[in-house]
Amino acid sequence: MRLVTSVALLIAATLAQAQTPPASTAPIPKGEYSLDKAHASLIFRVDHMTFSTFTGRFTQYQANLAFDPQQPAASSVRVTIDPRSVSSDNAPDGFLQMLGSDKDWLNGAEHPEMKFASQRVEVVSGRNLRVHGLFTMRGITKPLVLEARFNGGYAGHPFDPAARIGFSAKGKLKRSDYGLSAGIPSPTNQFGVSDEVEVILEAEFNGPPLKVARQ
């Protein structure tokens, strides 16, 4: 029975692949790209008492990218984040509201927007990029560098008739630089949450519509 099921699944997968038209082979176009929120995640990680790494995320954010695949260094990106959209797994009652809104934490009540704006994009090697920019949190702006990778894309697909590209990016910041020092342990005490925060971004972007050649 298992063999019959496996064969049926293999046949179905083969037929589906045969019926799916290929993506366009046209070059990925230069232009303005907007975030595809269904295929994006914005995660942060902090050390918790040296026992574990706490992972959280933001659920409300937007990003706009001006991208030139031929000259990546000429590209730029702007990101806005709602700090009150912070989320995590199995959070205690009231924890997320405190983290997102209280003055001692992200202070979203007074500063309802965090921002990142690139200033310079550096091509490190191949598809690896280094994005230099300014990050604003709690009304304080500091330099932030993101190590990014261009994962590729296409000019369009019959089922997705616009350009699509993808990136992965990571960076680190000190929350104390932004006046967020609550819970940072003293040098002789591990009780608390680390000053250093790791930021991880996975994102796909939609761009210019696919140009179909006239018959």
Q: What does the alpha-carbon distance between residue 19 and residue 60 come to, in Å, rounded to a whole number?
A: 36
Which pair of structure tokens corresponds to residue 182?
A: 């609550």
150-to-83, 106, 128, 132, 204 alpha-carbon distances in Å: 26, 30, 6, 15, 10
Inside any domain, residue 2: no
Inside any domain, residue 214: no
Inside any domain, residue 60: yes
pLDDT single digits (tens) 146-175: 999 999 999 999 889 999 999 999 999 999
Domain at 196, CATH number:
2.40.128.110
The pLDDT-based confidence of 13 (bands split at 50, 70, 90) is: low
Inside any domain, residue 14: no
pLDDT single digits (tens) 60-98: 999 999 999 999 999 999 999 999 999 999 999 999 999
- CA nearest neighbour of 176 among 168, 167, 185: 185
Inside any domain, residue 8: no
Q: Please give the residue range of the domain that contains residue 169.
A: 28-209
Inside any domain, residue 37: yes
pLDDT single digits (tens) 89-147: 999 999 999 999 999 999 999 999 999 999 999 999 999 999 999 999 999 999 999 99
How many separate domains does the chain show? 1
pLDDT at 20 over 80: no
**188 CB neighbour count, 10 Å cutoff:** 5
Inside any domain, residue 20: no
The pLDDT-based confidence of 2 (bands split at 50, 70, 90) is: low
**Residues 37 and 82 sit within 8 Å (Cβ to Cβ):** no
Inside any domain, residue 39: yes
